[in-house]
């Protein structure tokens, strides 16, 4: 099956942006319409959704988001409260905003929380912003949580999976519009490969390796 180049979440906005630019162009000419064409192109690139090459390596965690790693630090899992390592990936308006599953397994928890719309690059965005968290349990009994966080421009978090769903590593599972962040909570003994300040690609770049935790 051919992978769509443009995310389905964007077609309405893309058509509206290009339609407006076209109308202004016809009525007022190219130079007046130029800013509208630039905005339309910006909207088009925002909703791009390129295919990813998902690594087939046992025990690895791939980045759920395309962006810059702004934090790697100890934290608490949003569901169990257990100690975790949190990796935070910030997406700006030039990132691909289609989110992907970090590890294969089954969705065992999901929770949406309303909140504020602070700059998603800030540390307190993890606890104060609007967000939707899901927890995945792997076949080896390891639990990994992925949290979509809305930013000051992003006002809509879209999540397409629910409790009981079986998911694969790198699978597309959600979308956040116009600048946002995704936090990944891993067991504290995970081997973190990601580096703060580096850019990662969603679904293809490995950010950590898990150690099995048999139940």
User: Mind telling me the catalytic residues?
Assistant: 180
Per the CB < 8 A criterion, the answer to whether 125 and 119 are in contact is: yes
């Amino acid at each position: 099956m051919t992978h769509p180049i443009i995310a389905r979440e964007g077609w309405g906005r893309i058509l509206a942006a290009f339609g407006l630019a076209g109308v202004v162009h016809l009525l007022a000419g190219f130079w007046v319409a130029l800013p509208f064409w630039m905005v339309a192109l910006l909207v088009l690139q925002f909703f791009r959704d390129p295919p990813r090459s998902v690594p087939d390596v046992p025990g690895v965690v791939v980045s759920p988001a395309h962006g810059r790693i702004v934090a790697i630090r100890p934290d608490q899992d949003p569901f169990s409260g257990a100690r975790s390592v949190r990796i935070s990936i910030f997406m700006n308006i030039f990132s691909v905003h289609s989110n992907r599953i970090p590890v294969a397994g089954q969705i065992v928890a999901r929770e949406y929380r309303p909140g504020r719309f602070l700059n998603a690059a800030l540390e307190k965005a993890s606890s104060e912003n609007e967000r939707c968290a899901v927890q995945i349990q792997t076949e080896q009994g390891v639990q990994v949580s992925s949290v979509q966080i809305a930013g000051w421009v992003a006002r809509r978090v879209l999540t397409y999976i629910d409790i009981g769903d079986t998911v694969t590593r790198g699978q597309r599972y959600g979308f956040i519009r116009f600048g946002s962040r995704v936090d990944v909570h891993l067991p504290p003994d995970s081997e973190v490969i990601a580096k703060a300040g580096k850019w990662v690609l969603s679904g293809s770049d490995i950010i950590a390796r898990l150690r099995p935790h048999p139940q």
